Amino acid sequence: MNGRTDLHIREAIVVGAAGSIGRMLCEQLSATGLNVLGVDLAPFQAQAPYRYEARQGDIRAPSKELCQRLATARLLVLAVSEQVLFEALPALMAHLPLDCLLVETLSIKGNFATLVRDVALPQSVAGLNPMFSGDLSPQGRPVVVVPYQASPALDELTERLAGRGMRLFTLTAQQHDETMALLQTVGHSLVLAFGHTLADSAVSLTQLLELAPPPFKVMLCLVARMMTNHPDVYWEIQAGNHASGAAREQARAQLQHLDWQAAAQAHDEFLAATGTLRDYLEPVQAHLAAHCRQLFEVVQPPTTVDAALGSQRARIDHIDDQLIDLLAQRLDIVREVANAKKGSATAVMQPDRVRQVVARCTARGAPLDVPAELIEQLYHAIIEQSCQIEYDVIGGPRETLLAVTPEVFSQTGVR
């Protein structure tokens, strides 16, 4: 969107920013150049490399400051449950400008579509449904757009999302809910039934896993994935979609028919039914079967050595997570330092400070068997990046770290 002069949206507010979808939208919208304010009841903070403002607050009873921000908003995204959205709307509508685009991310669109029709909201309104969890990459992922009211602001929003690699599909609210009944209701209900069947059995989960073939493990992985999310996510899909009951009934009828085939020894009918299913899948059969084989290879039981390495790698991953979190905190402080230096005569490059940092960290690492070369390489990268961040804020001619303090990094391969 570089170079456009007709931009309507310059700032955005995302409510529910601590949640999976809200966080993803904060990150992706800020990456398009928008100034983004994320709001949530729970405390949270933006994760590097994304930069947006994070505030704790209740959208159902917005503070005076939040009301002021709402009054200048051109995009308000409500990544919250249907109940919270409906409770918040009366308080929000009193502050939103008429040219603000209001966007919901509900899993079910029917009830909100009825509200939009009956109340005739004065703002442009649209629905989004990213068909993936917020912790997955948006690249190539489908996003359903429901344009309750078309507007240039919605065109701009979809252009921004498409620019981030998302694939956008436009549906009506009714089409959306009927499609979700197949994409979500049926799959989720069968996975939940599978999990409950295992939990109600007398066979231990440990024994099942020891004996499990890859298809069983894939199904159990789906159960485990669902259990990482709040149950209300799936309750809304099952209970809130007017099309869900019919979809579950179709799935139940297929299970009952399979039960009848087995009980009646209707082998020929079973073969005919699987033949019909094979014909249905024929255009994508080979492609999907290949993907399934890849999944099976992923869930194959590891060797004894791999199992031991898995535990150690998990510990390393945990430490890496801590390192990244601490690095993000360090860079945030660097930005504070840059703002403090701005407007003063304080130089970005501080050779004495560089020497102190590297010497102190090298001395700390020596009794812990951390090689001095590693510390020098690491802090060369960190301090160099920190200086560039300061230059971005302060401006002026730039110097490289090696040019200013060459003696500090003499032992390493940095040069």
pLDDT tens digits along 338-394: 888 887 778 888 888 888 888 899 999 988 889 988 998 898 889 888 888 888 888
Is 4 among the domain residues?
A: no
Same domain? 20 vs 166 = yes
Co-location of 216 and 119 in the same domain: no
Residue 95 lies inside a defined structural domain of this protein: yes
Residues 373 and 267 in one domain: no
Same domain, 49 and 157: yes
**φ, ψ dihedrals at 60, nearest 5°:** -75, -20
pLDDT in tens, 87-137: 999 888 889 999 999 999 999 999 999 999 898 888 899 999 999 887 788
Which range of residues forms the domain containing residue 328? 318-409
Query: Are both 149 and 186 inside the same structural domain?
Result: no
* Residue 86: pLDDT over 90: yes
CATH code for the domain in which residue 186 is found: 1.10.3660
Position 260 in a domain: yes
Beta bridge partners of 143: 130, 168
Q: 144 and 216, same structural domain?
A: no
Quote the CA–CA distance of 69 and 11 in Å, as a whole number.
Answer: 10
Q: Are 117 and 17 found together in one domain?
A: yes
Contact indicator for 79, 105 with CB cutoff of 8 Å = yes
User: Which residues neighbour 383 within 8 Å (Cβ) at sequence distance 6 or greater?
Assistant: 354, 357, 358, 401
- Examine the domain organization and report whether 149 and 166 are in the same domain: yes
Q: Residue 65: left (phi > 0), alpha (psi -120 to 50), or beta?
A: alpha
Say whether both 235 and 368 belong to one domain. no
Res. 413 pLDDT band, cuts 50 70 90: very low
148 with 113: CB under 8 angstroms? yes
Query: Per residue in 3-30, pLDDT tens?
Result: 444 557 788 999 999 998 999 999 999 9
Residue 173 has pLDDT above 80, yes or no: yes
Residue 143, φ and ψ in degrees, nearest 5: -130, 125
Sheet holding 142-146, edge to edge: 53-56, 35-40, 11-15, 75-78, 101-104, 124-130, 142-146, 167-170
Distance of CA 330 to the CA centre of its chain: 24
Compute the average pLDDT of residues 232-242.
90
The confidence band for 306, taking pLDDT boundaries of 50, 70 and 90, is low
Q: What is the mean pLDDT of residues 263-282?
A: 94
Tally of domains in the chain:
3
Q: Is there a domain that residue 285 lies in?
A: no
Residue type, 290: A
Is residue 303 scored above 60 in pLDDT?
no
Residues 25 and 136 both lie in one domain: yes
Instruction: Tell which of 148, 171, 194 closes a domain.
Output: 171
Tell me: do 163 and 231 sit in the same domain: no
Q: What is the pLDDT of residues 178-231, one digit of tens each?
A: 999 999 999 999 999 999 999 999 999 999 988 999 999 999 999 999 998 889
- The secondary structure of residue 9, as a DSSP letter, is -
Q: Would the pTM of this model clear 0.95, i.e. be above it?
A: no
